[in-house]
Amino acid sequence: MPKVRLERVTKRYGKVTAVDCLDLTVHEGEILTLLGPSGCGKTTTLRCIAGFVVLDEGHIFLGEEEVTHLPPEKRDIGFVFQNYALWPHMTVYQNLSFGLQLRRIPKEEIRERVQEVLSMVRLSGMEDRYPRQLSGGQQQRVALARALALRPRVLLLDEPLSNLDAKLREEMRFEIRELQRQLGITAIYVTHDQAEALVLSDRIAVLNEGRLVQLGTPEEIYQRPANRFVAGFIGLSSFIEARVTEVEAEMAVLETEDGLHFRVPRDALVEGQAVTLAVRPEHVEVLGGPSGDLENAFQAEVVRAAYLGDSVDCRLRLGKWELRTQLLPGKIPAPGEVLWIYLPPEKLILIPG
């Protein structure tokens, strides 16, 4: 059942179109991530849903109700801000109870509900602290609690973890995910951090230049990126451009300008079609020695190798193309050294065009 539905949502700032005719449906109880580089329109989309930004065109529905022209205070949403936006002149308790008071909920019940959300975010006993007396992570959790205290129809999170340090950020990802699942609340999460999106989401909507580029589960997005942009933005990819020269029963053969041949699963490939191969670093296998008869095995020259502690990031030259791969730490190859590599056909990602 759709919980949030966007229909042809468009927002322009002067000549720039921040969100361009976006259609999107978020299901009840799922957490959907809007992912994209800065300026892709993800935050604007979220702010449209919240009502902070007025649309130029399109419609927004929460459940059955159209909220396109409703002001934010009447939309019944919870919003978590990047800078938390905890009111500095109010204690934690006052921050959490403010919205409840405005709804004229009896005092007793307010107290109960505040206690309840505080224990959810593991901050019981912090009621009388002021925001400035809390750590960044604690402030983050209060912000989350404030949004949850009202039991909103949908929880909107705008890069809520980007002000935290790396370690805390990783912990909070799981915490938010866990809380969202427990409460069964519908959530829309904005981030530019692909790792965060992969960990958190039921589904990811990848945006670029105001348009929806791909919508799918984290696995789908990672394993079958719809285009070069998604392949490059989520995970690392090296790209090789080629043309289909032969189509067999199960396999197809691709040839690059500089005469390299790749065998790939046939799928729906047609002879003569232009194709981009995306190669993930973890899918490049380094062979012990020459292996002339194996398909998709190549000699590649090491361009640069960087020691990363748990692995070695290695850039290889394959014909005119550059491939990135990760080697186990051990012997770090020197630039100019020649390695034999193997690209398993079933792991190669094919992008038309």
Q: What is the pattern of x (binds another protein, CB under 8 A) and - over residues 124-163?
A: ----------------------xx--x-------------
Q: Which is nearer to another protein, 188 or 323 (CB)?
A: 188
Question: CB of 39: closest distance to another protein in angstroms?
Answer: 19
The answer for residues whose C-beta is within 8 angstroms of residue 220's C-beta and 6 or more apart is: none
- Rounded to whole angstroms, the Cα distance separating 62 from 80 reads 18
Among 17, 30, 52, 317, binds another protein (CB under 8 A): 52
Question: CB of residue 159 vs another protein: minimum separation in angstroms?
Answer: 12
The reply on whether position 79 binds another protein by CB under 8 A is yes
The answer to whether residue 98 forms part of the interface with another protein (CB under 8 A) is yes
Residue from 23, 66, 73, 128 binding another protein (CB under 8 A):
73
Q: Which is nearer to another protein, 49 or 278 (CB)?
A: 49
Cα torsion for 144, 184, 182, 224, to the nearest 10°?
A: -90
Alpha-carbon distances of 46 from 157, 159, 216, rounded to whole Å: 8, 11, 18
Q: How many CB atoms lie within 10 A of CB 301?
A: 14
Q: Of 71-79, 235-243, 251-259, 330-338, which segment contacts another protein by CB under 8 A?
A: 71-79
Contact with another protein (CB under 8 A) among 13, 87, 174, 307:
87
Site for another protein in 100-119 (CB under 8 A): 102-103
Task: Work out how close the CB of 5 gets to another protein at its nearest, in angstroms, rounded to a whole number.
Answer: 20
- Return the bridge partners of 305, or none: 314
User: How many CA atoms does the CB half-sphere of 204 hold within 13 Å?
Assistant: 31
Instruction: Tell me the closest approach of the beta carbon of residue 205 to another protein, in angstroms.
Output: 22
8 A C-beta contact, residue 120 and residue 145 = yes
Give least dist CB 108 to another protein, A.
20
3-class DSSP assignment, residue 342: strand
Residue from the set 19, 48, 50, 253 that interacts with another protein by CB under 8 A: 50
| Residue 81: CB minimum distance to another protein, A | 5
* Interacting residue ranges for another protein, rule: CB under 8 A: 50-52, 71-74, 76-79, 81-83, 85-89, 98-99, 102-103, 146-147, 150
